[in-house]
Amino acid sequence: MAPPDKDDPHSMSLGSIKSHSSSLSSNRVKHKYVGDYKLGHELGSGTFAKVVEGTHKDTQQRVAVKIISKSKILGQTLEKVVRREVDIMLKLKHPNIVRLFEVVQSSNNIYMIMELVIGGDLFELVNTARKTTNTGIPEDKSRNLFQQLICGLHVCHLQGIAHRDLKPENLLVSSDGCLKIADFGLANIQKTNEYLRTVCGTISFVAPEVLIEGSYDGFKSDIWSAGNVLFTMLSAQFAFPHPKQTEVVEAIKAVRYTMPPSIQPNAADLIRHILVRDPDQRYTIADVVQHPWFNVEGWDSTRLQAASAEPQPG
List the catalytic residue out of 165, 183, 217, 222: 165
Band (pLDDT 50/70/90 cuts) for residue 12 is: very low
CATH fold, domain 14-115, is Phosphorylase Kinase; domain 1 (3.30.200)
Region 255-272 average pLDDT: 97
Please determine, for residue 70, whether its predicted confidence score (pLDDT) is greater than 90: no
- Structure confidence by residue, pLDDT tens digits, 75-85: 667 778 888 99
**157 close to 285: Cβ distance less than 8 angstroms:** yes
Please, what's the largest Cα pairwise distance for the chain? 62
Q: What is the pLDDT of residue 48?
A: 80
- Determine if residue 66 is labeled as part of a ligand binding site: yes
The residues, ordered by sequence, that sit 6+ positions from 227 with a Cβ below 8 Å of its Cβ are 270, 271, 274, 275, 283
CATH number of 119-307: 1.10.510.10
The model's pLDDT over 213-252, given as tens digits with 9 standing for 90+, comes to 779 999 999 999 999 999 999 999 999 998 899 999 999 9
The domain locations on the chain are: 14-115, 119-307
The span from the CA of 154 to the CA of 222, in Å, is 10
Catalytic residue status for 183: no
Cα distance between residue 46 and residue 61, in whole Å: 25
Helix (H) / strand (E) element for 150: namely helix 139-158
The pLDDT assigned to 25 comes to 38
* pTM across the whole model: 0.86
User: What are the distances in angstroms from CA 62 to CA 1, 39, 43, 59?
Assistant: 28, 10, 13, 9
